[in-house]
Amino acid sequence: MHEAPTNVLTDAYPEVEYFADLLRVTGGDTDEELARLTIRSTPDCTQWMSARGVRFQPALGGTLHLGRTNAFFLGGGKALMNAYYSAAQRLGVQVFYDAEVVDLKINGDTFESATVLGSLNVDGAPREIRAKTFIAASGGFESNLEWLREAWGPSADNFLIRGTPYNKGKILRLLHDKGVSKIGDPTQCHAVAIDARAPKFDGGIVTRLDCLPLGIVVNSSGVRFYDEGEDLWPKRYAIWGRLVARQPDQIAWSIIDSKIVGRFMPSVFPAITGNTIAELASNLGLPVDQVVSTVARYNETVRPGHFDNSLLDDCRTVGLTPEKTHWAQRIDQPPYLGYPLRPGITFTYLGVKVNAKAEVLMEDGQPARNIFAAGEIMAGSILSKGYLGGFGMAIGTVFGRIAGKEAAARADH
């Protein structure tokens, strides 16, 4: 949130617009107190982060539309974490690597100790670490294929995990099992459409595809199934993983033509091409006649307008099911390009319920005495579904700071 341009953001993004955007993507299903707390706490985050060594860069262009709403880290997430680790080291914080928490001792509403395996154990035996306070900031369960299968069924076998293979949700499960209140739907998640040629884990942002709103998307039958131009991409990109997940075999294809090239951030994998729609469909392994018919019908319904992919323009279809409401241009300039799409899971929304002090709530609705949570593990308290570009980082930064302050104050007492 900012009321005027800053050194890393353009124009203004006031609270009323920010919250309205959140209501739209979540369908109104959010905790307003925690949502507004997050939004109102963002203005001083960049200064706080910069003071700890984080550097920022100008926003990217194309279909991202983020120069007004999102501050970008120079060097990405790894550079951000390196800056934080360096700041922690300067403060005397000791970090143990290869040290996995395998159990928590929680007595009623009070954390007592964690059982740890790994580098802390000289003889290989578990080690108990006692502490005055405990902050859970260990993310969701997106890398736990068995848990994803429990929620989604067999379709989860075709999901790709955009990040680490180690986010198994062990701490989340332990907290739930020990009486901490659950929040969120296990099938809801930040899921984008990524290149189907990406690896099972750790494909990262270079496998994301941002061309979807600039063309059409078809399933394995060669049929469109959703409005590609529903809203600006930062407010819709994170629903496309779920949309693809609902299609047969959890796969779809983005089809564009040459006049779109250069307007989006491409995948690290090259586009599949064809000099005709029929040739492209064949190269994609799709039913040729149906794809030719789908593109022809789409082209027939495109109405003239002023194309501008930086705003909700007036280029749309009329008489098509489903309609494309923005950025509709005829697909008529060869060579034609296609990308295969799979659901790419970034993080899950099932988590632990917290209050404005980042205290986790127990099943009786009362806050735990010394247990706090920040980041993805509690994001479901605010994000029930949908996503705004960068909002997960806002939640993590705001509640990380709150949890740290509250836990430190509680430990002093």
> Mean pLDDT, to the nearest integer, of 375-404?
95
**Do 208 and 180 reside in the same domain of the chain?**
no
175 falls within a domain:
yes
Query: Do 372 and 134 meet the contact criterion of CB atoms below 8 Å apart?
Result: yes
> Mean pLDDT, to the nearest integer, of 354-377?
98
**Do 32 and 178 reside in the same domain of the chain?**
yes
Chain segment 174-227, per-residue pLDDT in tens? 999 999 999 999 999 999 999 999 999 999 989 999 999 999 999 999 999 999
382 falls within a domain:
yes
The domain total for the chain is 2
Give the domain-ending residue among 303, 318, 344: 344
Chain segment 104-113, per-residue pLDDT in tens? 999 999 999 9
**Do 328 and 229 reside in the same domain of the chain?**
yes
- Which residue shows structure tokens 């494309």? 324
Query: Residue 124 pLDDT more than 90?
Result: no
Chain segment 220-261, per-residue pLDDT in tens? 999 999 999 999 888 888 899 999 999 999 999 999 999 999
**Do 215 and 319 reside in the same domain of the chain?**
yes
Residue-range definition of the domain harbouring residue 334:
190-344
70 falls within a domain:
no
- Residue 214 is inside which H or E element, if any? none
Give the domain-ending residue among 344, 364, 390: 344
The enclosing domain of 336 has a CATH number of 3.90.700.10
Looking at residue 222, its pLDDT comes to 98
Rounded-to-integer distance, Cα 111 and Cα 131, Å: 8
217 falls within a domain:
yes
Coil, strand or helix at 284: helix
**Do 133 and 255 reside in the same domain of the chain?**
no
> Longest C-alpha distance within the chain, in Å?
73
**Do 28 and 127 reside in the same domain of the chain?**
yes
Looking at residue 328, its pLDDT comes to 98
**Do 304 and 387 reside in the same domain of the chain?**
no
Rounded-to-integer distance, Cα 400 and Cα 138, Å: 12
**Do 158 and 196 reside in the same domain of the chain?**
no
**Do 377 and 303 reside in the same domain of the chain?**
no
Looking at residue 55, its pLDDT comes to 96
Give the domain-ending residue among 344, 374, 396: 344
83 falls within a domain:
no
**Do 199 and 281 reside in the same domain of the chain?**
yes
Looking at residue 151, its pLDDT comes to 95
Looking at residue 60, its pLDDT comes to 62
The enclosing domain of 180 has a CATH number of 3.50.50.60
Query: Which residues are CB-contacts of 412 (< 8 A; sequence separation ≥ 6)?
Result: none
pLDDT band at 62 (very low <50, low <70, confident <90, very high): low
| DSSP annotation of 47 | H
Coil, strand or helix at 187: coil
> Mean pLDDT, to the nearest integer, of 20-40?
95
171 falls within a domain:
yes
Mean pLDDT of the chain: 94
**Do 220 and 317 reside in the same domain of the chain?**
yes
